[in-house]
Amino acid sequence: MADPTSKLEMERSALLQKLAATGDMRRGSITECYRRCGKATCACSAADHPGHGPYYAFTTKVDGKTKTLQLRPGPLLTKMEREVETYRDFRGTCDKLIKVNEAICVARPVDASGQEKKRHSPTSSNARSLPRSKLS
């Protein structure tokens, strides 16, 4: 009795609700990096030294060009990490939403659109208004 698509539709509603609740987000990624200063006398010249840091870099593409913003640990870095994370979640939710929708498309019976029902309907005046009637 239960509609095979109802579970998928509930899943879709949940994903749409999650998308609606999306907060501030931005595309890009934040990487942690360490650098060697190049001075032979510095401790970082040792092979097992990771280099100075950590430094943080926010990288994003603007009009096809890669833009990098150097960041120090602090409130701005924390804020941007949250915004980038929100974007990653958003994209993940979008992918799931597309997959659920495609599953709904596959599961949805053809006659759910009402065309089959209208064909069997006793009122033929309704059927005449359908574009499909031109084929017959």
By beta-carbon proximity to Zn ion, the closer residue of 26 and 35 is: 35
Do 84 and 23 touch, CB atoms closer than 8 A? no
By beta-carbon proximity to Zn ion, the closer residue of 53 and 114 is: 53
- Would you say how long the chain is, in residues? 136
Select from 16, 42, 76, 112 the one that contacts Zn ion (CB under 5 A): 42
Residue 53 beta carbon to Zn ion: minimum distance, rounded to whole angstroms: 10
Stretch that binds Zn ion, among 21-29, 37-45, 69-77, 100-108 (CB under 5 A): 37-45
Residue 97 DSSP class:
H
Do 32 and 53 touch, CB atoms closer than 8 A? yes
By beta-carbon proximity to Zn ion, the closer residue of 37 and 98 is: 37
Do 84 and 58 touch, CB atoms closer than 8 A? yes
